[in-house]
Amino acid sequence: MSEIKTEKQGKLIVFSAPSGSGKTTIVRHLLKQPELNLEFSISATSREKRGNEIHGKDYYYLSLSEFKNRIKNDEFLEWEEVYRDNFYGTLKTEIARIWAKGKHVIFDIDVSGGLRIKRKFPKQTLAVFVKPPDLNELVRRLKERGEESEDKISMRVAKAPAELATAPLFDAIVVNTDLEHALEKAYKLVDDFIKE
- Give the pLDDT score at 149: 78
pLDDT tens, N- to C-terminus, the chain (196 residues): 446 766 678 999 999 998 888 899 999 999 999 999 999 999 999 998 888 999 999 899 999 999 999 999 999 999 999 778 899 999 999 999 999 999 999 999 989 999 999 999 999 999 999 998 887 787 787 778 777 778 877 877 778 888 989 999 999 999 999 999 999 999 999 999 999 8
pTM value is 0.87
Spell out the alpha helix ranges (H) of 43-104: 64-72, 92-100
- The continuous run of DSSP H or E covering 168 comes out as none
Compute the chain's Rg from CA coordinates.
16
What are the residue boundaries of the structural domains of the chain, listed by start? 12-195
Cα angle 21, 172, 56 (rounded to 5 degrees) comes to: 55
Determine whether domain 12-195 maps to CATH 3.40.50.300.
yes
Q: What is the pLDDT of residue 2?
A: 43
